[in-house]
């Protein structure tokens, strides 16, 4: 069983508000969330050395996944828990430029 959580309330609200601003991107994000719930490792695993240190401390994570969306957007999430109860923690959606800045490409 996979439980979907947001790292903080601002992320959930920004995805909700996106439905009014960009219905197409919102639809792709909702599809990505369904896919993650069906197959939590469907995203591309990000190297542990690239995980921002402040994210490791703030969110208490040790893994990170990238789910590619249209127009070079990315949905970033982490997994925690065990086989009985896996939690997918959504950390946000980022444009290509934001993603490069966060992961220092």
Name the CA radius of gyration of the chain, rounded.
13
3-class DSSP assignment, residue 93: strand
Q: How confident is the model at residue 64 (pLDDT cuts 50, 70, 90)?
A: very high
Expressed as residue numbers, the domain containing 48 is 2-102
Number of structural domains in the chain: 1
pLDDT band of 52, cuts 50, 70, 90: very high
Residue 101 has pLDDT above 90, yes or no: yes
Q: Is the pLDDT of residue 29 over 80?
A: yes
Mean per-residue pLDDT for 40-45?
Answer: 96
What is each CA distance from 10 to 5, 6, 7, 16, 93, in whole angstroms?
12, 9, 9, 10, 12
Beta-carbon count within 10 A of 1 CB: 9
pTM of the model: 0.94
The whole-number pLDDT of residue 83 equals 77
The number of angstroms, rounded, from the C-alpha of 66 to the middle of its chain's C-alpha atoms is 6
CATH number at residue 11: 3.30.2310.20
């Amino acid at each position: 069983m996979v439980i979907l959580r947001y790292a903080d309330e601002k992320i959930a609200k920004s995805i909700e508000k996106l439905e009014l601003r960009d219905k197409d991107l919102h639809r792709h994000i909702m599809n990505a969330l369904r896919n993650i719930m069906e197959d939590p490792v469907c995203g591309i695993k990000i190297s542990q050395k690239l995980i921002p240190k402040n994210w490791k401390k703030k969110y208490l994570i040790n893994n990170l996944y990238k789910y590619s969306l249209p127009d070079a957007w990315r949905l970033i999430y982490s997994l925690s828990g065990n086989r009985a109860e896996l939690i997918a923690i959504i950390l946000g959606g980022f444009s290509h430029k934001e993603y490069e800045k966060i992961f220092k490409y």
